Amino acid sequence: MRYALMIEPQQGCSYADQLAIARRAEAAGFETFFRSDHYDSFPGGGGRPTTDAWTVLAGLARETTRIRLGALVSPVTFRHPGTLAKIVATVDEMSGGRAILGLGAGWNDAEHAHHGLPFPSIEIRAEMLEEQLAIVRGLWQEPDGWSFAGRHYQVPGSLFRPRPVQRPAPPIIVGGEGSPRSMRIAVRWADEFNVTSADPERVADRFARLDEAARAAGRDPATLVHSAMAGVLVGRDEAEVARRSAVLLDLLGLAETGTAWFAARRPRWILGTPDEARATVERFAAAGVERLVLQDFLPWDLEHVDLLGEVLVRG
């Protein structure tokens, strides 16, 4: 199993907070550090500080040495595809070839309104996603003069310098809950498909459908990395699990409803003692997961990262 650590820094994390956890994840042996790409603060109370994902990743590129870096995922509504291609290629150069691009249709209409960003229908955003994927790939990989004419974007004749360090291009991730449209888009454009918010049984079902879609399109399913993102909360013993659980519920403003909240997530989270965590990871592995993205909602708890490295990544 390959492991990535993912955080939600819109919870109020400063750049210094994110640097600390990225360095701790690198030391713990994680292959990749992902962060979300949001401008409003959630879950929990609103109005907390937020940072721009790719600005932060550029900083981390210069202050880490081994760990791969990416956003999971960047909404197509935040950046023009030409700008996004340039930003990711720049982070790739700054990091010595460690950038990863996760790209999605976006979903949070409130944060778009708060920042004056248009938020069209999901049908339009899905079209934008396909066009952005085509353009990013084209700018990174096609010869000079390559052109694209779509409904939302046009490239009359490309000239892109420098190309990314990674050749032919940085890996691209598409994901979600596994809708047929997301699978079709991933099969055509992505290097990795990431299933979110799903227990191992649902993940196995989605991977079976993904493989079927790949074969129908003439693509070998083995060329598409199968990954899943799961919430994570682990303690050395039941007392430490309870302590971390209480901290998380307080952070999310769920102290009074915590039992039901955790019960709903237990089937799809890596939750509990080391033995319980390993048992759940084994279920994800049996479902066909090649890379497990651990979604950590306790970004200030660096000892939690150390423990995950000890009992999962290096265990």
Greater model confidence, 180 or 302:
302
Q: Residue 34: which of 54, 12, 16, 63 has the closest Cα? A: 54
* Mutual angle of helices 274-286 and 200-216, in 10-degree steps: 20
Q: What is the pLDDT of residues 129-150, one digit of tens each?
A: 999 999 999 999 999 999 999 9
**Angle value at C-alpha 111, between 127 and 43, nearest 5 degrees:** 115
**pLDDT at residue 45 is higher than 80:** no
* CATH number of residue 201's parent domain: 3.20.20.30
For 56, residues 6+ apart whose C-beta sits below 8 A from its C-beta are 9, 15, 18, 35
Q: Is the pLDDT of residue 51 over 90?
A: yes
Say what angle helices 200-216 and 180-189 make with each other, to 10 degrees.
Answer: 60
Q: Degrees (nearest 5) of the Cα angle 148, 150, 153? A: 85
Given the structure tokens 């009359």, which residue do they identify? 156
Torsion of CA 156, 157, 163, 164, to 10 degrees: 20
- pLDDT tens across 190-244, in order? 999 999 999 999 999 999 999 999 999 999 999 999 999 999 999 999 999 999 9
Structure tokens at 68: 């791969």
Domain that holds residue 114: 2-313
Q: How much is the average pLDDT of 60-71?
A: 98
Q: Tell me how many domains the chain contains.
A: 1
φ, ψ for residue 172, nearest 5 deg: -115, 130
User: CA gyration radius for the chain?
Assistant: 19
The pLDDT of residue 256 is above 80: no
Q: What is the pTM of this model?
A: 0.96
What does the pLDDT read at residue 74?
98
H/E element, 234: strand 225-234
Q: Tell me what the mean pLDDT of segment 86-95 comes to.
A: 98
Q: How far is CA 84 from CA 88, 102, 191, in A?
A: 6, 11, 17
